[in-house]
Amino acid sequence: MALAGAVLDEITAVVGDRWTSTPTELDRHGQDESWHHPLPPDVVVYPRSTQEVATIVTVCHRTGVPVVPYGAGTSLEGGIGAEQGGVCIDLSQMNDISRVSIDDLDATVQAGVTRHQLNEYLNPQGNMFPVDPGAHATIGGMAATGASGTTTVRYGAMPHNVLGLTVVMADGRIVRTGGRARKTSAGYDLTRLFVGSEGTLGIITEVTLRLWPIPEAIAVATCTFLDVDGAVEVAMAVTQLALPVARMELLDKAAIEAVNKFDGMALPIAATLFLEFQGIHGAVDACAHEVRRLVTDAGGTFEWATDAEDRTRLWHARHRAYWAMLAMRPGAKGWPTDVCVPISHLAEAIRLASLDLAEVGLYAPLVGHVGDGNFHLCYVLDADDAEQFAAAEAHYERMIDRALAVGGTCTGEHGIGAGKRAFLEREHPEGIEVMRLIKAALDPLNILNPGKVV
């Protein structure tokens, strides 16, 4: 317990007994879902309102104590590790769906609302929030990391679906950005500056979101190919024709094997696209017809998942792919990569990464949001094998350098966190200086999630 008793007294004055410093809770809050080593905070606090967060941050600002916001802990780049200890602000008790307008298809929720909770609330009313990173994340965490995922090819990522934010700044000030209008040119786009800033510029406590109607028709198909190239060829054609698929997910043979085993599926062991079409009936039919033609042209099979249960099972399995891969090597640690490239370079990016992988002899199944040019090779590594980690690190570095050479990015959606700081510098050698100026302007004492991103 490195935190001064006086600070804890002030925090107690704000939240009463809604804080903990038991070692298991501290460890849990310093550890995300990836291989990153836990970096526990000194105390975990559970505020219930923006005002409580503001008061806590004011105390931390005055006393120079680091503050790390925490949603559901599902991030993958060590973004929640408390590198300098301090206060972890766990937002899970800020879970009110504060306002939903069905007429305007928007909602305002507290940061700790999870996407499942929100959709369970919305779905019976015929609406949905479509951004789907797979993980059981909070909306606040998804906003803070600029999450995307399986449906981004159709509905966009968080930057496209967040209309406004309430943010607690480093000095405890409360700032509201954006609003409820579908578009605005009112000054600098603070909303999209805070979205993706990973808790380093402010703590997001409320999010106003764009909602979508549940489409009248949903159709799902699985398509298998002789190799990954065939699947990527289809993804490229779909993108070039701007066919409005709702999801287009690639799994390689190794990923299919893992999913089959973990979820008791019996999918053919082949490079596979999971496709989803959403919209009004005629549009879904027309789109599916076109895509089917492209799949057939590329030598693939096309099979409908006809009933709702099959569809649910399929996406459930896709969402658990990461855990399925980990389960192939019990006790192993996962390290999901995240490069994203212009789509014409996708086939080569995957091919070179796979060849390289075979040479270094690592196990790393592949899943990909291929409509966006984004794919994840997931290294599954023995926790104690430093050599494997070093090999993975070197392999990843080569993969990132190839991505950067063709105009791609070191992270399509997982963010920088602690794990990619060196690569951010490589990707944006001039931009990182501008980011640092902004960080210094908005958090001059560097108390907000220190050591992350910049």
Residue from the set 180, 313, 320, 329 that interacts with a second copy by CB under 8 A? 180
Element (H, E) at 288: helix 281-297
Instruction: State which residue, 324 or 416, has the beta carbon closest to a second copy.
Output: 416
Cβ(450)–Cβ(66) below 8 Å: yes
Residues 424, 430, 433: CA angle, nearest 5 degrees: 80
Instruction: State which residue, 64 or 431, has the beta carbon closest to a second copy.
Output: 431
d(Cα 363, Cα 346) in Å, to the nearest integer? Answer: 20
Least distance to a second copy from the beta carbon of 11, Å?
24
d(Cα 251, Cα 224) in Å, to the nearest integer? Answer: 10
Q: Is 445 in the site for a second copy (CB under 8 A)?
A: no
Least distance to a second copy from the beta carbon of 313, Å?
26
Q: Which residues contact 182 (CB under 8 A, 6 or more apart)?
A: 163, 210
- Segment interacting with a second copy, rule: CB under 8 A, options 89-97, 179-187, 298-306, 354-362: 179-187
Q: Is 94 in the site for a second copy (CB under 8 A)?
A: no
Task: Name the token pair of 447.
Answer: 């108390």
Site pattern 390..409 for a second copy (x: CB under 8 A): -------------x--xxxx
Element (H, E) at 287: helix 281-297
Residue from the set 42, 132, 249, 372 that interacts with a second copy by CB under 8 A? 372
Q: Is 275 in the site for a second copy (CB under 8 A)?
A: no
Sheet containing 366-369, strands listed edge to edge, beginning at the edge strand earlier in sequence: 303-305, 217-225, 271-279, 245-251, 366-369, 374-382, 332-336
Q: Which residues contact 28 (CB under 8 A, 6 or more apart)?
A: 73
DSSP reduced 3-state for 434: helix
58-87 positions binding a second copy, by CB under 8 A: none
Determine if residue 85 is left, alpha or beta; phi over 0 gives left, psi from -120 to 50 gives alpha, anything else beta: left
Residue from the set 253, 292, 329, 428 that interacts with a second copy by CB under 8 A? 428
Q: Is 279 in the site for a second copy (CB under 8 A)?
A: yes
205-234 positions binding a second copy, by CB under 8 A: 212-213, 215
Instruction: State which residue, 52 or 198, has the beta carbon closest to a second copy.
Output: 198
Q: First vs last Cα of the chain: how many Å apart?
A: 27
Residue from the set 182, 261, 293, 398 that interacts with a second copy by CB under 8 A? 182
Q: Around Cβ 209, how many Cβ atoms within 10 Å?
A: 24
Least distance to a second copy from the beta carbon of 245, Å?
12
Residue from the set 91, 245, 321, 442 that interacts with a second copy by CB under 8 A? 442
- Binding-site size for a second copy (CB under 8 A) equals 98
- Segment interacting with a second copy, rule: CB under 8 A, options 6-14, 296-304, 307-315, 334-342: 334-342
Task: Name the token pair of 417.
Answer: 């966190």
Instruction: State which residue, 218 or 435, has the beta carbon closest to a second copy.
Output: 435
Residue from the set 5, 242, 331, 355 that interacts with a second copy by CB under 8 A? 242
d(Cα 328, Cα 366) in Å, to the nearest integer? Answer: 14
Site pattern 103..142 for a second copy (x: CB under 8 A): xxxx------------------------------------
